[in-house]
């Protein structure tokens, strides 16, 4: 008992920090059932903090999130090797101390993620702010909007540069450099989407993201968007817009998809407009195929050859990355989403179809 008390005194700071972090998590779990508390936290703390930090890191040409994770991994490996070396060469067994510090740091990181991002899932949703229901849709309405998107795809397919094979040929640099102001029209219609301009950062570890099945992410701690620049560029513009939706406080993936599509098609930038219409068509087509394969194939036949080639190129790229790493990445992220009561998990990426039908059915009709 005396040795245990001495150990606790030696590591009092770490134990206190761990207790504070655990208390913070308990407070989050207790408070997330109150929409009013979550909205107050988001408006008064979470969003201001993320916007301030993102303004600090925005001028840097690299992803601060990637750099931080790289440094963290190297530090953890160094400390683990050093601890083992001390235990073997000098008889100093500090594995328990190292484990305590790692656990404390891990709990604090998770607490910050919950405070700066997890709370986002429990506030007022974009659909609620926009007065949209996002409810179930009729197959006939889904077919009509899918056909409408196919027409818009065909009208905008020739407005973007193409290579010798007829594929989308806008460079990554052009796409990222043209992202400023993408949300101007969308924010004019939906003021809740207003926010400071930030840049999307190209991922240094893009191939690792491809192996895990990711096209982009928003870092909760820095409010910084990082996108995969190794995959075909045709969906990079709408991916950038999707991540910008997260930066503007849209948490649910289906809503971020809708906002990314809508911001892209209303941006006035040819590559974003085409990318948005095509990405929306893919989601609508997949949903329609599940409901009525015959009508879905009829909508597919409406697409111009250029659009079909772009989709085929994108599908071929991702098919080459299918494997256990992608499965693991999807499983981990699905678990992350479901831990915040996002019951659809990664399937929620396709639920933007309801919002698209609600928004565009009047035009399609």
Pair (110, 156) in one structural domain: no
Mean pLDDT of 89-116: 81
Pair (172, 312) in one structural domain: yes
Pair (111, 167) in one structural domain: no
Is 289 among the domain residues?
yes
Is 85 among the domain residues?
no
Pair (11, 34) in one structural domain: yes
Is 304 among the domain residues?
yes
How many structural domains is the chain composed of? Answer: 2
Is 203 among the domain residues?
yes
Pair (336, 250) in one structural domain: yes
pLDDT of residue 234: 97
Mean pLDDT of 74-89: 80
Is 83 among the domain residues?
no
Pair (54, 158) in one structural domain: no
CB of 356 closer than 8 Å to CB of 258: yes
pTM: 0.89
Q: What is the pLDDT of residues 160-208, one digit of tens each?
A: 999 999 999 999 999 999 999 999 999 999 999 998 899 999 999 999 9
Is 186 among the domain residues?
yes
Is 69 among the domain residues?
no
Residue 283: is its pLDDT beyond 50?
A: yes
Q: How confident is the model at residue 5 (pLDDT cuts 50, 70, 90)?
A: low
Percent with pLDDT over 90 in the chain: 66
Pair (53, 160) in one structural domain: no
Domain carrying residue 206: 129-364
pLDDT of residue 136: 77
Residue 267: is its pLDDT beyond 90?
A: yes
Q: How confident is the model at residue 90 (pLDDT cuts 50, 70, 90)?
A: low
Reduced 3-state DSSP string for 226-273? EECCCCCHHHHHHHHHHHHHHHCCCCCHHHHHHHHHHHHHCCCCHHHH
Q: How far apart are the first and last CA of the chain?
A: 77
Mean pLDDT of 146-160: 97
């Amino acid at each position: 008992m005396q040795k245990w008390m001495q150990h606790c005194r030696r590591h009092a700071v770490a134990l206190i920090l761990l207790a504070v972090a655990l208390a913070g998590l308990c407070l989050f779990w207790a408070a997330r059932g109150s929409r009013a508390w979550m909205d107050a936290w988001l408006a008064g703390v979470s969003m201001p903090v993320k916007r301030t930090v993102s303004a600090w890191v925005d001028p840097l040409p690299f992803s601060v999130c990637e750099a931080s994770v790289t440094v963290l991994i190297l530090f953890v490996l160094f400390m683990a090797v050093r601890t083992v070396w001390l235990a073997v060469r000098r008889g100093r067994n500090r594995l328990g101390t190292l484990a305590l510090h790692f656990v404390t740091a891990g709990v604090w990181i998770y607490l910050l993620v919950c405070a700066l991002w997890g709370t986002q899932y429990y506030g007022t949703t974009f659909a609620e702010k926009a007065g949209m229901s996002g409810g179930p849709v009729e197959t006939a309405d889904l077919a009509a909007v899918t056909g409408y998107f196919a027409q818009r795809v065909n009208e905008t397919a020739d407005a973007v540069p193409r290579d010798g094979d007829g594929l989308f040929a806008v460079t990554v640099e052009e796409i990222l450099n043209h992202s400023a102001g993408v949300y101007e029209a969308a924010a004019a219609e939906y003021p809740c989407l207003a926010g400071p301009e930030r840049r999307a950062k190209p991922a240094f570890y893009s191939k690792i993201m491809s192996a895990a099945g990711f096209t982009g992410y928003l870092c909760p701690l820095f409010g910084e968007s990082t996108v995969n620049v190794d995959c075909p560029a045709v969906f990079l513009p709408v991916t950038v817009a999707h991540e910008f939706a997260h930066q503007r406080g849209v948490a649910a993936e289906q809503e971020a998809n809708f906002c990314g599509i809508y911001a892209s098609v209303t941006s006035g930038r040819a590559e974003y407009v085409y990318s948005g219409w095509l990405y929306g068509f893919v989601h609508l087509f997949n949903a329609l195929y599940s409901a009525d394969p015959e009508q879905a194939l009829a909508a597919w036949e409406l697409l111009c050859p250029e659009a079909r080639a772009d989709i085929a190129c994108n599908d071929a790229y991702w098919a080459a990355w299918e494997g256990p790493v992608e499965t693991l990445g999807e499983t981990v992220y699905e678990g992350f989403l479901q831990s915040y009561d996002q019951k659809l998990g990664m399937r929620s990426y396709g639920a933007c179809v309801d919002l698209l039908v609600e928004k565009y059915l009047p035009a399609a009709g």
